[in-house]
Structure 1
Amino acid sequence: MEFSRSIASGVGSLLLILRAQDDDEADDSGANGRFDRAQIDDLLSLCITSLDLLNSKIEAVADLMTARYGLQ
């Protein structure tokens, strides 16, 4: 469970950072941008991979609960 929370928190943090950068670029034309477009693409890919991993973990827990308790 803690692993899943860590993934969700990490993805949320990355998305907040990217949103803040987007806001900064809108405010001052990107003069103080922290990431270039390639870095942003890499961070978004990391978010997608992390969410896929989280989904796999959730499915594994759901399968375990179904097998153990007969939940559907």
Structure 2
Amino acid sequence: MTQLSVNKLDNLDWRFAVSSASSDINKIGQTFLQMKMTIDGKDVFFELSLLQFFAFLSEMEKIKSQLDSFQ
């Protein structure tokens, strides 16, 4: 029998931002998402481009759909 271990997501904070300065001229004006997830009491920080965010959102929607089908 296989056992699945799941971590508890305690909190999720996020914000969209636009880069206003960079040593790389191509990065100025790019939009990105900063996220802080609190998982089992530990903070995890990460940053996503808009393309990465929409790919992440799509995967989360697929997972939600699969979990909903079990109920």
TM-score (norm 1): 0.43
Structure with the larger strand share:
2
Larger Rg, first or second structure (1 or 2): 1
- What is the TM-score of this pair, normalised by structure 2? 0.43
Q: Which of the pair is proportionally richer in helix?
A: 1
Higher relative contact order (CA 8 A, sep 6+): 1
